[in-house]
Structure 1
Amino acid sequence: MSGWAPPPLPARWSAPARPAFVGRWAELATFEEVWTAVLAGSRQVVFVGGGPGAGKSRLLAEVATTLHRHGALVLVGTCAAEFGPPYQPFGEPLGALLGARPGTGQDERLSTLAGRGPPEDAGAPSHEYRRVLYDAAVDAVCDASSRQPLVLALEDLHWAGPSSLQLLDHLVERTADCPVLVLGTHRTTAPDRSAGLVRTIGQLYRLDGVRRLDLAGLATEDIAQYLVQEGRLSPRAARGAAAVLRDQTGGNPFFLRELWRDHAARGGALLVGRQAPASVRDTILARLERLPLPARQTVELAAVVGEDVDVATVLTASHWSRGTTLAGLDEAVAFGLLEPVPPGDDVLRFPHALCRQAVLDLMPASRRLQQHAGVALAVEATVPPSERRTQQLAFHFAQAQALGHAARAVHYLTEAARSAARGLAHEDAAGWFEQAAALCEDDAESCGLVLSAAGSHLLAGDFARARELAERVATGTGVAAQRLAAAVAYEDASWRPGLPGHRAVDLLGTALAAVEADPTDPGHVRGLASLGRAMAFTGATAEADAFGRRAVALARELGNDDLLAHTLQASLWNGLRPEDAPDKFARAGELSRLADRTGALGHLGPAAYYRGVISYLQGEPVALAQAHGDLVRVARATGQTFFEYMAGCVSYARQFSAGDFAAAHRTCGELQDLGTSFGSDDTEGPCAVQSYMIRRENGAVERVRALITGAERPEEHWAPGLLALYTELELPGPAARLLAWLLDGELARHEDSAQWPCVLVYAIEAALYLEDESAARALRPMIGEYAGTNLVAGQFVAVFGSADRYLGALDSLLGRTGAADSLAAALEMDIRMGSAVHEAHTLVAQVLHGRRAGTDGRLLEELSGRARRLAEPLGLRRVLRLLGGPAPRAPAHSPGGLTSRETEVLQLLGAGLLNREIAQRLVISENTAANHVRSILAKTGSANRTQAAMFAAAQGLLD
Structure 2
Amino acid sequence: MSGWAPPPLPARWSSPARPSFVGRWAELATFEEVWSAVLAGSRQVVFVGGEPGAGKSRLLAEVATAVHRHGAAVLVGTCAAEFGPPYQPFGQPLEALIGARGDTAQDERLSTLAGRGSPEDADGPSHEHRRALYDAAVDALCAIAARQPLVLALEDLHWAGPSSLQLLAHLVERTADCPMLLLGTHRTTAPDRSPELVRAVAQLYRLDGVRRLDLAGLAAEDIAEYLVQEGHLSPRAARSAATVLRDQTGGNPFFLRELWRDHSARGGADLIGRQAPASVRDTILARLERLTLPGRQTAELAAVVGEDVDVATVLAAAQWGRETTLAGLDEAVAFGLLEPVPPSDDVLRFPHALSRQAVLDLMPASRRLQLHAEVAQAVESTVPASERRTQQLAFHYAQAQALGHAGRAVRYLTDAARSAARSLAHEDATRWFEQAAALSEDDAERSRLVLSAAGSHLLAGDFARARALAEQVAIGAGGSAERLAGAIAYEDASWRPGLPGHRAVQLLTDALAGTHPDPADPRYVRGLASLGRAMAFTGATEEAGALGRRAVDLAREHGDDELLAHALQASLWNGLRPKDAPDKLARAGELSRLADRTGALGHLGPAAYYRGVIAYLQGEPVALAQAHDDLVRMARGTGQAFFDYMAGCVSYARQFTAGDFATAHRTCGALLDLGTSFGSDDTEGPCAVQSYMIRRERGVVGHVRGLVTGDERPEEHWAPGLLALYTELELAGPAARLLAWLLDGRLAGFEDSAQWPCVLAYAVEAALFLEDEAAARALRPMMAEYAGTNLVAGQFVAVFGSADRYLGALDSLLGDPAEEELAAALEMDARMGSPLHQAHTLVAQVVHGRRAGADAQVLDDLAGQARRLAELLDLRRVLRLLEGPVLRLPSPRGPAGLTARETEVLQLLGEGLLNREIAGRLVISENTAANHVRSILAKTGSGNRTQAAMFAAAHGLLE
TM-score, shorter chain, exceeding 0.5: yes
Q: Deviation per CA, 1:708-754, whole angstroms, max 9, x where unpaired? A: 00000001100000000000000011001100100001111100000
Partner residue, 2:598: 598
- Secondary structure in 2 aligned to 1:799? strand
Deviation of 1:103 after TM superposition, in Å, equals: 3.8
Alignment-derived partner of residue 910 in structure 1:
none
Equivalent position of 1:498 in the other structure: 498
Provide the identity percentage. 84
Report the Cα distance in structure 2 between the residues aligned to 1:196 and 1:276, rounded to whole angstroms.
Answer: 35
Show the counterpart of 1:948.
Answer: none
1:326 aligns with 2:337: no
Letter in 2 for 1:198: V
Please give the alpha-carbon distance, in whole angstroms, between the structure 1 residues aligned to 2:808 and 2:884: 22
Task: Kindly report which structure 2 residues correspond to 1:323-722, keeping only aligned pairs within 5 A, or say none.
Answer: 323-722=323-722
Q: Which residue number in structure 2 is paired with residue 234 of structure 1?
A: 234
Residue identity matched to 1:865: G
In structure 2, what residue type is equivalent to 1:847? V
* CA distance in 2 between partners of 1:242 and 1:708 (Å): 65
Mean alpha-carbon deviation: is it higher for 540-549 or for 315-324?
315-324
Q: What residue is the counterpart of 1:94 in the other structure?
A: 94
Is the contact between residue 126 and residue 422 of structure 2 (CA under 8 Å) also seen in structure 1? no
Residues 246-293 of structure 1, C-alpha deviation per residue, up to 9 Å, x if partnerless? 000000000010001011111112211111111111111111111121
Q: Give the structure 1 partner of residue 270 of structure 2.
A: 270
Question: What SS does structure 1 have at the residue aligned with 2:147?
Answer: coil
Contact 2:118 2:387 in 1 (8 A): no
Residues 156 and 187, structure 2, Cα contact 8 Å, conserved in 1: yes
In the alignment, the residues of structure 1 paired with residue 833 and residue 759 of structure 2 have an alpha-carbon distance, to the nearest angstrom, of: 25
Q: Which runs of 4 or more aligned residues in structure 1 lie more than 4 Å from their structure 2 counterparts after TM superposition?
A: none
1:884 aligns with 2:880: no
Instruction: Show the counterpart of 1:163.
Output: 163
- Once residues 122 and 259 of structure 2 are traced to their aligned partners in structure 1, the CA distance between those partners, rounded to angstroms, is 52
2:855 paired with 1:856:
yes
The structural deviation recorded for 1:127 is 1.3
| SS in structure 2 at match of 1:801 | strand
Alignment of 1:123-142 (within 5 A): 123-142=123-142
Q: Which amino acid aligns with 1:255?
A: F
Residues 1:843 and 2:867 are matched in the alignment: no
Which residue of 1 is the match for residue 740 of structure 2?
740
Rounded Cα–Cα distance in structure 2 between residues aligned with 1:379 and 1:601: 39
> Distance in 2 between the 1:780 and 1:660 partners?
31
Tell me whether 175-184 or 112-121 shows the greater mean CA deviation: 112-121
Match of 1:745, SS?
coil
Deviation (angstroms), 1:796: 0.2
CA–CA distance in 2 between the matches of 1:62 and 1:784? 73
Q: Secondary structure at the match of 1:342?
A: coil
The superposition leaves residues 530-572 of structure 1 with CA deviations (integer Å, 9 ceiling, x where unpaired) of 0000000000000000000000000011111111111011000
The corresponding residue for 1:285 is: 285
Partner amino acid for 1:813?
A: L
Correspondence 1:191 to 2:185: no
SS in 2 for 1:497: coil
Q: What is the alpha-carbon distance in structure 1 between the residues aligned to residue 578 and residue 67 of structure 2? A: 65
SS in structure 2 of the partner of residue 146 of structure 1 = helix
Tell me the TM-score normalized by structure 1.
0.92
Q: TM-score, normalised by structure 2?
A: 0.92
Deviations 1:666-691 (A, max 9, x none): 00000001101111110000000000
1:105 Cα deviation from its structure 2 partner: 2.9
Matched with 1:830 is 829
SS of the aligned residue for 2:839 comes to helix
Task: Name structure 1 gaps, 5 residues minimum.
Answer: 887-959
Whole-angstrom CA distance in 1 between matches of 2:75 and 2:184 = 12
Contact 2:444 2:478 in 1 (8 A): yes
Equivalent-residue separation in structure 1 for 2:280 and 2:128 (angstroms): 47
Aligned AA (2:874): G
CA distance in 2: counterparts of 1:799 and 1:303, whole angstroms:
61
State the match for 2:213 in structure 1.
213
**Matched AA of 1:870:** L
Q: Which amino acid aligns with 2:18?
A: R
CA distance in 2, matches of 1:279, 1:103: 52
Structure 2 unmatched runs, 5+: 886-959
CA distance in 2, matches of 1:741, 1:639: 45
Distance 1:561 1:327 in 2: 63
Deviation (angstroms), 1:121: 4.0
Amino acid at match of 2:410: V
What is the CA-CA distance between 1:861 and the residue it aligns to? 0.4
Q: Deviations over 1:573-603 (max 9, x none)?
A: 0000000001101110111011111111111
Figure out how many residues of one structure are paired with residues of the other and give that number.
885
Structure 2 match to 1:820: 819
Kept in 1: contact 2:218–2:253 (CA 8 A) = yes
Give the Å deviation of 1:125: 4.1
The answer as to whether partners of 2:281 and 2:358 remain within 8 angstroms in 1 is yes
Q: Deviations over 1:331-389 (max 9, x none)?
A: 11011000000011111000000000000001000000001001000111111111100
Deviations 1:4-47 (A, max 9, x none): 32100001111111111000000000000000000111000000
Aligned-residue Cα RMSD (Å) equals 0.9
Q: Deviation of residue 232 (structure 1)?
A: 0.8
The CA deviation string for residues 906-926 of structure 1, in whole angstroms up to 9 with x for no partner, is: xxxxxxxxxxxxxxxxxxxxx
For the residue of structure 2 that corresponds to 1:309, the secondary structure is strand
Deviations 1:212-235 (A, max 9, x none): 000000000000000111111111
What are the residue-to-residue correspondences of 1:114-129 with 2, within 5 Å? Answer: 114-121=114-121, 123-129=123-129
Please report how far the alpha carbon of residue 482 of structure 1 lies from its aligned counterpart in structure 2 after TM superposition: 1.1
SS in 2 for 1:206: coil
Query: What is the CA–CA distance in structure 1 between the aligned matches of 2:685 and 2:881, rounded to whole Å?
Result: 27
Match of 1:872 in 2: 871
- Provide the rounded CA distance (Å) in 2 between the counterparts of 1:439 and 1:206: 43
Change (3 A) 1:673 1:753: same
Q: Map of 1:898-917 to 2, 5 A cutoff?
A: none
Cα displacement (A) at 1:104: 4.8
1:126 shift after superposition: 2.6
Hey, what's the Cα distance between the residues in 1 that align with 2:577 and 2:294?
79
Three-state SS of the structure 1 residue aligned to 2:745 is helix
Q: Is the 8 A contact 2:304 2:372 kept in 1?
A: yes
Matched, 1:174 2:169: no
In 2: Cα distance, 1:533 partner to 1:22 partner:
66
* Equivalent position SS for 2:154: strand
Q: Aligned AA for 1:860?
A: L
| Contact 2:38 2:180 (C-alpha < 8 Å) held by counterparts | yes
Q: How big is the shift at 1:794?
A: 0.3
For the residues of structure 1 that align with 2:629 and 2:314, how far apart are their CA atoms?
57
Q: Which residue in 2 is equivalent to 1:917? A: none
What is aligned with 2:8?
8
Deviation digits for residues 25-84 of structure 1 (CA, Å, limit 9, x no counterpart): 000000000000001110000000001000000000000011111100000000000000
Aligned to 2:956: none
State the secondary structure of the residue aligned to 2:489. helix
2:427 and 2:632 map into 1 onto residues whose CA distance is 23
1:852-876 deviation line (CA, Å, top 9, x unaligned)? 0011111110000000000012111
- Measured after TM superposition, the shift of residue 810 of structure 1 is 0.4
Q: How far, CA to CA, are the matches of 1:566 and 1:11 in structure 2? A: 53
Largest Rg, 1 or 2 = 2
CA contact (8 A) 2:122 2:418 kept: no
Distance 1:29 1:289 in 2: 43
Give the superposition deviation at 1:2: 4.1
Q: What's the counterpart of residue 899 of structure 1?
A: none
- CA distance in 1 between counterparts of 2:117 and 2:291 reads 43
C-alpha distance in 2 between matches for 1:122 and 1:855: 73
